[in-house]
Amino acid sequence: MSTALDTLFTQLKVENRAALIGYMTAGFPTNEGCVEVIKAMIDGGVDAIEIGFPYSDPVMDGAVIQEASEQALRQGTTAQDVMRTVGAVSALAPTLVMTYWNPIERFGVENFVRELTAHGGSGTITPDLTIEESGPWLQATNDHAANRVYVVAQSTSDARLKQVADASSGFIYAASLMGVTGTRTTISSGAKELVTRLRAVTDKPVAVGLGVSTPEQAKEVAAYADGVIVGSAFIKALQQAPDLATGIAQVRELALKLATAIKEEAISR
């Protein structure tokens, strides 16, 4: 059974362009505000949504996303709030949750996947879950036909890349650099090499994230990847805005610029 995310990548393969995947932390700036922000992202041209599960020890997240996560937690954002956010936007675009393993374990592995799919979610990105520790996760995601997205880095061996790719569904998350999330002035040259190495072991879609923040960077990544993931830049636009309405407008404008750049790259092929 295909998810909305699977259908999206099949469609975009026909169109010969990369997907724009936008990240937003659940509960930021508020639960209701988050939904409005995500709708603006989709309205601006984002193809799929990652909803970040606020967590107190986000080892992969840079300062911008950490700050958003901390604000959401201070405001009392819960696991059910995360699921309600998924439910509020999943009919508009394929929606995933990005979360560390601890919140899933606390929620209950089976319960988490059941709730996610009941709210229309396509799957989950688990940056700190290894395939060796994925037994219950593989079972639950198979039982509920949910995508499971693993993260690979430039340091991942070729043999390991194949193992992770075989266990992944929806897409494989290729980290563009060694480090944490955040905006960067350039994209590491190793990102393209990592995608090339993945292409040698799998035909599943590959999306590149960590550090992509400008239309120029999005266009560069879209030339070799199936998906372009942007997170910190959207959150930064909200954090720097004087009010929510202005922030939402700036998020929509950024999404439009990123989406336009990706479409321009597809036309130039």
- At a CB cut-off of 8 Å and minimum separation 6, what does 87 contact? 119, 120
Length of the chain equals 269
Residue 109 has pLDDT above 60, yes or no: yes
CA distance 120 to 6: 13
Q: Is residue 179 very low, low, confident or very high in pLDDT (cuts 50, 70, 90)? A: very low
Q: Is residue 188 very low, low, confident or very high in pLDDT (cuts 50, 70, 90)? A: low
- Tens of pLDDT, residue by residue over 27-37, are 999 999 999 99
Residue 269 has pLDDT above 90, yes or no: no
Residue 62 has pLDDT above 90, yes or no: no
Q: What percent of the chain has pLDDT over 70?
A: 94
The domain ranges of the chain are 4-267
Q: Is residue 58 very low, low, confident or very high in pLDDT (cuts 50, 70, 90)? A: low
The token duo for 18 is 């990369």
What CATH fold (topology level) applies to the domain 4-267?
Answer: TIM Barrel (3.20.20)
Higher model confidence: residue 269 or residue 93? Answer: 93
- Tens of pLDDT, residue by residue over 228-247, are 999 999 999 999 999 999 99
Q: Is residue 181 very low, low, confident or very high in pLDDT (cuts 50, 70, 90)? A: very low
User: Which entry of 36, 47, 50, 265 is annotated as an active-site residue?
Assistant: 50
Q: Is residue 61 flagged as an active site residue?
A: yes
Q: What is the pTM of this model?
A: 0.94
Q: Is residue 50 flagged as an active site residue?
A: yes
Residue 156 has pLDDT above 50, yes or no: yes
CA distance 160 to 163: 5
Contact 143, 189 (CB under 8 A): no
Residue 153 has pLDDT above 70, yes or no: yes
User: Which entry of 61, 81, 115, 265 is annotated as an active-site residue?
Assistant: 61
